[in-house]
Amino acid sequence: MNTNLLVVIAASAVFYGTPLFFAALGGVITERSGVLNLGVEGTMLIGAVTGAWASQHVGGSAWFTVLISILMGMAAGALTSLLHAFLCITLRTNQTVAGLAITIAAGGVGLSSYFANIWEVAANPVNRPIRKLDVFGLADAPVLGPIVFNQTILTYVSWVMVAVASWYLFRTKIGLQLRAVGESPQTADAMGINVVKYRYLHTVLGGSLAGLGGVFYSLAIVPLWVDGMTKGAGWIAIALVIFGFWRPGLTLVGAYLFGALQSLGTALKARNVNISGDVLDALPFVMTIVVLVLISSRFAHRRLGAPASLGVPYEREER
């Protein structure tokens, strides 16, 4: 029963969707503060290479190594997005171009590849990959076993995160103030909210989540460092933020949908289904465009929660 095609696809949808979710949740949090970060792809790669390096060099028990790798990947992602925050918030540059700069500088042929080269990350496999767990010994249970009880620890963390992030954004005072900053920084400023501080903190928080998504690639999916290994996942994550209407729960649904599309190729090939691998490879990208077109009318944007000041630098002097 667990070899049923639908079960296999659902299980790997959750697996492949997890890093997409982390990156997209980071995007939700960043964009709620009014900062658009197009550097997600580059940030993920920096997280991935740092995580892989840590896994090769940090000693100790398996759990300790994995934990340190994850934390270092997140810290690297946070640092990368700190640069973005500095450019966008302090220097008030065009956020689109600044984000692109991050992706180009850190991306597949940039800094992440340079680090991989000089740290000799690519030459060796990672020591301690993040393995799938067998929760309560239920991994072999019919249907739900592989989908729910046989995932990596990070997937379970992501489920907790959905709840925490929704509560944080919509049920706490800080969350309310954060949304105010994203909607109308002038008003928020007049209320005494420190716009700059909120934007910095949440951009960096979002970057650390992108780094976490990157670590998932180099330690769980591949698990090995390959130049440009995220293969556009960061960009899909940016589209997922829109697809999820800037809400954590819907973003998770979207992430699993795209996770399913990504895993379709492997799942079908294993069964000798005769369909071109190229068509399946292109599917997530085509679907991203289709989804964007469907939800990108101006009406949809306004109704569905795009922060009104997204991408607009805040200049106090010009109030």
Asked if 169 interacts with other proteins (CB under 8 A), we say no
Q: Which is nearer to other proteins, 62 or 109 (CB)?
A: 109
Give the span between the Cα atoms of 64 and 114, in whole angstroms.
Answer: 27
Reduce the DSSP state of residue 250 to 3 states and report it: helix
With beta carbons less than 8 A apart as the criterion, state whether 152 and 22 touch.
no
Q: Which of 1, 5, 96, 123 binds other proteins (CB under 8 A)?
A: 96
User: Would you count residue 105 as binding other proteins (CB under 8 A)?
Assistant: yes
Does residue 276 touch other proteins according to CB under 8 A?
Answer: yes
The burial of 183, by beta-carbon neighbours within 10 Å (0-12 exposed, 13-18 middle, 19 or more buried), is given as middle
> What DSSP string describes 173-193?
HHHHHHHHHHH-HHHHHHTT-
Q: How far apart are CA 253 and CA 224, in angstroms?
A: 27
Contact pick of 60, 125, 142, 232 for other proteins (by CB under 8 A): 232
Taking contact as CB under 8 A, which single stretch among the options 105-113, 126-134, 149-157, 207-215 is the one that binds other proteins? 105-113
116 binds other proteins, rule: CB under 8 A: yes
CB atoms within 10 A of CB 258: 26
Give the count of beta carbons closer than 10 Å to the beta carbon of residue 123: 10
Residue number with CB closer to other proteins (272 or 278): 278
d(CA 91, CA 97): 13
Residue from 19, 34, 51, 110 that binds other proteins (CB under 8 A)? Answer: 110
Single out the residue of 1, 62, 97, 308 in contact with other proteins (rule: CB under 8 A). Answer: 97
Under the binding rule (CB under 8 A), the answer on residue 258 touching other proteins is no
Contacts with other proteins, residue ranges (CB under 8 A): 38, 83, 87, 91-94, 96-98, 100-102, 104-118, 227, 231-232, 235, 238-239, 242, 276-278, 281-282, 285-286, 288-289, 292-293, 296-298, 317-318
